[in-house]
Structure 1
Amino acid sequence: MSISLDYPWMLTLIVLPAFVFRIFPAYLQPTASIYVPFFARLVAATGQAPTSGSQVKQRKRIQAIALVLSWLAIIICLARPVLLGEPIVTQKTGRDLMIAVDLSQSMEQQDYQLQEKGKVSRLVALKFLLNTFSKQRSGDRLGLIVFGSGAYLQVPFTEDTLLWQTLLDQMDTQMAGPATAIGDAIGLSIRAFDESNSTERILLLVTDGSDTSSRLDPVDAARMAAADGIEIFTLGMGSVDTEGDDKVDFNTLNKIANITAGQAFEGNSTGAIEQVLQQVNQIAPAQYQQQRYLPKLDLYPWLMGPMLVIYLFVWLALTISAAMANKERADVK
């Protein structure tokens, strides 16, 4: 900690009284006089020249000391002395990242492998990898959208990664319906980004199927997202060689990514998804801005408070002294 002055140039005013004292004449205090009708004859008889009855009142030493100390205290307070604390560094988020997860019934298929758990469903594998991914996004705000037959905002943008992970773990298949509404998920993300002030806006769209129930066409939704400056990274959980009802519409996912200047990825295994998330981290690394400031504690109250007490004490002492002197003169008369 250290002490500093915010306005040190105010200290130059300390010499102001010296200039005032030299430039302006002293204040003359009128004194009591005796009025006589024969003043001219009195002057002639005594042979003395008349002079002004005013005089410069002499201050007592304690008054002069109090005046000087008060002026010094006022000037120092105007210079604003502050006590500087330890520097505080805060981080401000630099990028908003929304993750939209498909919770349709096909996400229950157990065709992915985790070293810790063996063969697991697509959703369990995705949750595990997204948890790891979220820990690497320090400085970003994360949001979460789940979609099936409809799209729902599960987590608005937040810097609380632990909260985001908790709500991610609570997701389950078909909680948003059995179908797949990719276009509606993109449309909902656009609305979520309306509340964002970040210039870096990214949507990671994860699905294992084709759009079957959207009211908004996915490609049209992508054009709207591009107009709002949202980049969409698509992750298809499945293989391009898959046929039938479980086929992932990679053609549409590629169009969505290209329209928004994003990228499309294929995640046909746990390792592939992990590599995809690492690529997203490299393409759009987490961002944050640092703000540094010094906490300040104003010291002028601690200076002016005692000074006012001293000044009040001097005033009371002089007032009492003058009153006792007047009483003594009255008693003598």
Structure 2
Amino acid sequence: MIQFDYPWLWLLLPLPLLAYRWLPTYRPPHRKLRVPFTVAFKGRVEQRASPLTAGISRAGLALRGMIWALLLTAAARPAYLEPPITHIEPRRDLILAIDLSQSMSEPDVTASDGADTTRLDAVKRAASQFINRRTNDRIGLVGFGDRAFPLAPPSREHDSLQQILAMTESGMAGANTALGDAIGVTLKLLEQSDRPDKLLILLTDGNDNRSRLDPLQAARIANNRGLTVHTIGFGRTDTGTDEAVDAPTLERIAGITGGQSFLATDRTALERVYRTIDAVTPHNAEELRARPRRELFWIPVLMASGLLLLQVLAGLMPSLGQRPARWREVERHEP
């Protein structure tokens, strides 16, 4: 598609004709005529304009009109607009914080084929399905155990994120659980984020027993910085041991930040929790459109330059052809 930025310039197309019609004729200030070569000049004056000369004159006017039209076309700034390019820009940074403590290696979860699998394998399967559904979100990954550490910054490189998630192992972060530090590391990871929506999905199978930052204090800081936290407790709450899920703390963390708290006791329930979070978290992205532009003004400028050069050459040809004859004529009449 070709468009012109200033099409109104074409209104100036009849300007030379109007100037020719209404402007006064130019008259030189001196009316005396001095001719050093009288004989040669007399022959030139007595020549009458031939039809060919008149045709050349009309062709010259047409040529000047074409040059003027081409210059106006160039000034109107023509450009070719290529098909639009659409870009989806995410407006949310989403962090998955996964408990990698030693207890996540317990093979007490029944897989889809009926075999027993570890808690972490069940979590990785559910989280992987969740990532596949969140095509328009920038997603990052945080692992925590004795300490919390970032595994992947938020980005749309979901394939790389899936590979990092698949390589996580239980116990790689230590044997304990640091919930508060996981929230703190997430805040640090999102410190430079300019996205208006920030979300943390925090999953654990135990209770906080190692954090340097109190989980509830971390939740208050997260709320002040606009971070919403959904919490998932994966396991039982009535085991009577230190490894039991601390459901009250998870609920308070979610409540402080405006999120929701979930409890899953098996693989099916865990996958259902991630589907629920996906449903209550609308996809937040804006569509950006751009049309590449190619400037075309140089084409009429080049054409006008070529026609102008042609006109100059055409004006020089008659004088170049007659100059030797004129000199011969002058030489014959010298005394």
Q: Normalization by structure 1: what TM-score? A: 0.86
2:13 aligned partner: 14
AA at the equivalent of 1:12: L
Q: Deviations over 1:137-168 (max 9, x none)?
A: 01111111111111111111111111111111
CA-CA distance at 1:106 after TM superposition: 0.6
Question: Residue 137 of structure 1 contacts residue 285 of structure 1 at CA under 8 Å; is this kept in 2?
Answer: no
2: CA distance, partners of 1:192 / 1:122: 26
* Percent of residue pairs identical: 33
AA at the equivalent of 2:273: V
Cα 1:325/1:185, change in 2 over 3 Å: farther
User: Which of 287, 295, 298 is residue 301 of structure 1 equivalent to?
Assistant: 298
2:264 aligned partner: 267
Matched, 1:188 2:176: no
Q: State the superposition RMSD in angstroms.
A: 2.3
How many matched pairs? 311
CA-CA distance at 1:303 after TM superposition: 2.5
CA-CA distance at 1:308 after TM superposition: 1.6
Matched, 1:115 2:85: no
Contiguous gaps of at least 5 residues in structure 2: 36-53, 331-335
User: Which of 223, 228, 232 is residue 229 of structure 2 equivalent to?
Assistant: 232
User: Which of 130, 137, 144 is residue 133 of structure 1 equivalent to?
Assistant: 130
User: Which of 105, 114, 118 is residue 102 of structure 2 equivalent to?
Assistant: 105
CA-CA distance at 1:116 after TM superposition: 4.2
Question: Residue 233 of structure 2 contacts residue 262 of structure 2 at CA under 8 Å; is this kept in 1?
Answer: yes
Deviates more, 1:243-252 or 1:312-321: 312-321
CA-CA distance at 1:63 after TM superposition: 3.4
Matched, 1:162 2:159: yes
Cα 1:276/1:163, change in 2 over 3 Å: same
- SS state at 2:72 partner: helix
Question: Residue 104 of structure 1 contacts residue 179 of structure 1 at CA under 8 Å; is this kept in 2?
Answer: yes
Contiguous gaps of at least 5 residues in structure 1: 36-57
Deviates more, 1:260-269 or 1:291-300: 291-300
1:174 aligned partner: 171
Q: Normalization by structure 2: what TM-score? A: 0.85
Question: Residue 105 of structure 1 contacts residue 178 of structure 1 at CA under 8 Å; is this kept in 2?
Answer: yes
Cα 1:284/1:31, change in 2 over 3 Å: farther
1: CA distance, partners of 2:107 / 2:31: 109
User: Which of 79, 84, 87 is residue 82 of structure 1 equivalent to?
Assistant: 79
2: CA distance, partners of 1:213 / 1:331: 113
2:251 aligned partner: 254
Q: Deviations over 1:251-306 (max 9, x none)?
A: 21111100100011102111111111111111112222112333333222233223
